[in-house]
Structure 1
């Protein structure tokens, strides 16, 4: 298979979510990703929990297809080993605390002075410089600083999103910047130094409410599942639960009330003819829709809405998502190896017509250490000595996806 990033080597001094997500995306596209971890503990996301057969859920999600090098960067030898690997790589990604990479001899300016073709991406919470440069930048904190918490939740209660949105935003921009830099390098031979900030990535994603506030001077309200500029757009009761309906234009409103709910008089009711009318009279609009939706079961109403082309969705819990018929029918699940068991993993969203993503195993801590020591130029005797003195550590291989000794994963048989 000819994957887009075959032949590209990435060295990643990474931890937690943002940078590991970026490099996992690169690994899925075919890049070789060497993940540098601490001796003993490794990336602390390994131990956020142990729910995936003894491995952390975050770590399994973010680290498939990588090679793990466990090395002590507090030692001169450990730093030299990593520097040798970076000197042979195409891309270096790091999300250490501000200034830490430079103290390890891995400053972008120094690296690229010797190899101007290298692509270096520094991912941080708040970016280089400025009064927040050295602040802790956990996902929840950045969501708050970016204004995301202020618009998420109900009128009574602000909440963070249920996924690490700030981390994910920064990770996606990090991966995007690597692809852009490699494309430019293919044309010019010149690498790049790129900085990605979690704060700036998240504020960028705040587009609609940010521009609304900018041009009205008002703080957008927290509206739960509703929408500040569209109606009806919310969860509505059914006979046995609820369903989400999102009508984004006037023809959709007509289709909803005539073709689905069977109350055609509402189509031309002056309170609801246009979206502006419906937003202005949101409470009445929502109440009338809810009165009608409660006549059907969720499954029945979902089918009626789909047949009429009215946007709608069931509120699925995680178990239902794992068995989602669309993911099953499109064959989106694969099996990968982890340190203790084989587990299902979802293919990346971008589907190439001619090649499938490389769904590699999740590495055990230090699984590839000895091989990488040899690649860094150590002799076999030197590598064994480094391992014996604890400068680096060798881990055992994971349970490979090719090993059929486990039973079906949590999805069960298809």
Structure 2
């Protein structure tokens, strides 16, 4: 049995951060009921049309194994339905716009005051207090506020991360918070109010830059693909035209690199290169020495030499290269799941339990499960038809 079997999560969610969290809760066995607006649904459904048949790649990634229920919460009868659903839930989560949940009486504090055993989550950009509490927050904006953009890119050109780092950071803490709260409830019976902010989450992930600037007062220089304080830790182009990242973590690895693949044993003891502090201080010279040798070697020859020397390396993959990655293929990390446009290839759940079948439910169509869920709440077909007629569902 999956660990969250029997747990019901009701999620008023859109975009990336909260759907990321609830997808993982679903894969751990929870029943996740995704509440969407009639007609339009989660606006991530329209972020792109990358998946065949016109489905959004964002939505496909974030919403498998869930049930879609459409409710227009501006219609009182729809709100009454939601209240009945919340009465049966173990977890209620929302990432509505700033202040929207509180105006509807759906913020975590209000819900837990009504049902003390409930685990309720408010996920926001900047948190429920402070001068930024009313600001809208999207991933790139939070990357900017958290300093991630300041340390990403080249010296001349800052850049955002190439994926939704702020959303994924916040979603990860929602998962952690919900699992912890459910464990505590199992022991004490008490629910929890969880208020999680994207800025808080991403600032935590910025720990190394934050600690460095805190204690030195010096802003970190952007270093492209390289590392700000370790050298060599950079991608170098082989004679075959591949970019191979070589990561030297200590002086012993440098000595093995110098005596092995570089065929420059004198560099192992050269005071300009023998220690990481010296190599980082002479970064341009260090990288130039490595680049000159790597450029004469084929990729397979270089990788064999690095492996023999015990030096860490990785080929810089394209996204297409990841789709064909031999390690992922060998471990069976790709599966097909159903969707409104047919089977789509996705990654397996990261956390799986031996002897348990992975939870790999389909990506839902908008409102696909509305009638069934309303029937479970005791509404008969005539009542459901009436709700549909007044635009409540």
Same fold (TM over 0.5): yes
- Please give the alpha-carbon distance, in whole angstroms, between the structure 2 residues aligned to 1:98 and 1:87: 24
**Larger deviation, residues 83-92 vs 381-390:** 381-390
Aligned twin of 1:348:
349
Contact 1:139 1:164 in 2 (8 A): yes
Contact 1:298 1:314 in 2 (8 A): no
1:97 aligns with 2:97: yes
Aligned twin of 1:400:
none
- Report deviation, 1:112: 1.7
1:6-45 map, 5 Å? 6-45=5-44
Aligned twin of 1:201:
201
Q: C-alpha deviations, 1:288-340, integer Å up to 9, x for none?
A: 11111111122331232223221111111111100110011001111101111
Aligned twin of 1:247:
248
How large is the Cα RMSD of the aligned pairs? 1.1
- Please give the alpha-carbon distance, in whole angstroms, between the structure 1 residues aligned to 2:294 and 2:231: 15
1:140-151 map, 5 Å? 140-151=140-151
TM-score by length of 1: 0.92
- Please give the alpha-carbon distance, in whole angstroms, between the structure 2 residues aligned to 1:281 and 1:109: 55
- Report deviation, 1:113: 2.3
**Larger deviation, residues 383-392 vs 128-137:** 383-392
Aligned twin of 2:373:
372
Q: C-alpha deviations, 1:146-190, integer Å up to 9, x for none?
A: 000000000000010000100000000011100000000010000
Q: C-alpha deviations, 1:354-387, integer Å up to 9, x for none?
A: 3243011000000000011122232222112212
Contact 1:83 1:106 in 2 (8 A): no
- Please give the alpha-carbon distance, in whole angstroms, between the structure 2 residues aligned to 1:139 and 1:375: 36
Aligned twin of 2:383:
382
Q: C-alpha deviations, 1:112-136, integer Å up to 9, x for none?
A: 2231110001000000111101112
Contact 2:65 2:360 in 1 (8 A): yes
- Report deviation, 1:110: 2.8
TM-score by length of 2: 0.97
- Please give the alpha-carbon distance, in whole angstroms, between the structure 1 residues aligned to 2:113 and 2:276: 58
**Larger deviation, residues 290-299 vs 327-336:** 290-299
Q: Which runs of 5+ in 2 are unaligned?
A: none
Structure 2 SS opposite 1:121: strand
Aligned twin of 1:406:
none
- Number of equivalent positions: 391
Structure 2 SS opposite 1:260: coil
Aligned twin of 2:230:
230
- Please give the alpha-carbon distance, in whole angstroms, between the structure 1 residues aligned to 2:17 and 2:124: 9
- Please give the alpha-carbon distance, in whole angstroms, between the structure 2 residues aligned to 1:218 and 1:356: 50
Q: Which runs of 5+ in 1 are unaligned?
A: 393-414
Q: C-alpha deviations, 1:178-234, integer Å up to 9, x for none?
A: 000000001000010000100010100000010000000011110001111111011
Q: C-alpha deviations, 1:38-88, integer Å up to 9, x for none?
A: 000100000111111211000000000000001111100111111111110
- Please give the alpha-carbon distance, in whole angstroms, between the structure 1 residues aligned to 2:58 and 2:305: 38
- Report deviation, 1:4: 1.1
Contact 1:79 1:104 in 2 (8 A): no
- Report deviation, 1:251: 1.1
**Larger deviation, residues 84-93 vs 250-259:** 250-259
Structure 2 SS opposite 1:81: helix
Contact 2:170 2:202 in 1 (8 A): yes
- Please give the alpha-carbon distance, in whole angstroms, between the structure 1 residues aligned to 2:207 and 2:357: 33
- Please give the alpha-carbon distance, in whole angstroms, between the structure 2 residues aligned to 1:165 and 1:139: 7
**Larger deviation, residues 228-237 vs 211-220:** 228-237
**Larger deviation, residues 301-310 vs 261-270:** 301-310
Aligned twin of 1:322:
323
- Report deviation, 1:99: 1.9
Structure 1 SS opposite 2:346: strand
